[in-house]
Amino acid sequence: MDTKKIKALGAKTADSPLDTLVIERRVLGVNDVEIDILYCGICHSDLHAVKNDWGNTNYPVVPGHEIVGRIKDVGKNVTKFKVGDLTGVGCIVDSCRNCDSCSHGFEQFCENGFTLVFDGPDKHLAGRTYGGFSESIVMDSNYVLKIPESLDLASAAPLLCGGITVYSPLKHWKAGPGKKVGIIGIGGLGHLAIKIARAMGAHVTVFTRSEDKLQDAKRLGAHDAVLSNDPEQMRKQSKYDLLIDTVSAKHEVNMFLDILNIDGSLVLVGLPNEPLEIGAFNVVNGRKSFSGSNIGGIAETQEMLDFFAEHKLAADVEVIKVDQVNEALDRLERGDVKYRFVIDMASLKN
């Protein structure tokens, strides 16, 4: 198959910094679009993958799954997009389209495995897929999102993974008026969860271990902020209907299960590389649920983007150039970002 060579940023091993690489993209198929990448967010999952935290990374890895770009070319069967349109791409670039999950819009749970935008098996070229830390991408137009005109492009990028990952469970577990919702961890996902839950009408409390984020929590839309490593403050908490746990490392969850209401749910979206310990008494008392959620389907991702436009919300971003990306990954590891790094991908062309 013919391919086109482009520039990307990738890691060759778990210990090497990201560096410029040349990768190949397939030529445009009839249902494909070619997207010139303008911005790409840095999610903690990119960092987990680069560092091989989950033990399953294939190198070289080109991360990036919070992509905003402009359509450069369209295949002859594509009607949804035209050259020049502003688009978004998240984690999912393909799926089987036939299974029960796909036919219900749950491509994230495709029974045959959806194709991840990076480090997934590439159906067209041999080898693995390469993500958004690159100049451009060629992919099936059915998995491409429309960026509403009113959204700022750099701050729309984190919505493509961070936004949908928290929007989906907040909607599924019915965050809204009369509901007491807690968000655990104020990072990329957590800060978006605060904004979404507030816009949905819930009473929102954030739990952070970082004292310097307490003030910010209210600016982001939380009604209350709790220092989760202060047992005195934790003892005063009770009767949460829903807790969204965005913590990226192994942590204590029983103290959060304890503050759920009867029939309350703690929903894990963070992906620590070690199992979490749950005490039986922490769930049986109060018929509590410990659950999880994984990104969201394509239609729901579009709904989330439209929700951000309708409610005039945006991610809080720090836009960086390509030569700052390794420093950004170090800072993300230390929790030193307010609240999402976004790479200006045009700087890769220079």
The site for ligand NAP (CB under 6 A) is made up of: 43-45, 48, 161-162, 165, 185-190, 208-210, 213, 246-249, 251, 269-271, 294-295, 332, 335
Q: Which stretch binds Zn ion (CB under 5 A): 97-105, 195-203, 251-259, 268-276?
A: 97-105
Least distance between ligand NAP and beta carbon 333 (Å): 8
110 binds, among Zn ion, ligand NAP, none (CB under 5 to 8 A by kind): Zn ion
Q: What is the DSSP letter of 121?
A: B
Q: Is 95 in the site for Zn ion (CB under 5 A)?
A: yes
SS3 content of the chain, % helix, strand, coil (to 5): 30, 30, 45
213 binds, among Zn ion, ligand NAP, none (CB under 5 to 8 A by kind): ligand NAP
Give the integer Cα–Cα distance in Å for 176 and 181. 9
Q: Is 89 in the site for Zn ion (CB under 5 A)?
A: no
96 binds, among Zn ion, ligand NAP, none (CB under 5 to 8 A by kind): Zn ion
Given the complex with Zn ion, which of 90 and 221 has the nearer CB atom? 90
The length of the chain is 350
Alpha helix ranges (H) inside 111-226: 153-156, 162-172, 188-199, 214-220
Q: Is 99 in the site for Zn ion (CB under 5 A)?
A: yes
Q: Which stretch binds Zn ion (CB under 5 A): 44-52, 193-201, 212-220, 333-341?
A: 44-52
Alpha helix ranges (H) inside 34-186: 44-50, 100-103, 153-156, 162-172
Given the complex with ligand NAP, which of 141 and 165 has the nearer CB atom? 165
Q: What residue type is assigned to position 85 of the chain?
A: D
Q: CA 93: distance to chain centroid?
A: 14
CB 246 within 8 A of CB 183: yes
Chain contacts with Zn ion (rule: CB under 5 A):
43, 45, 95-96, 99, 102, 110, 161
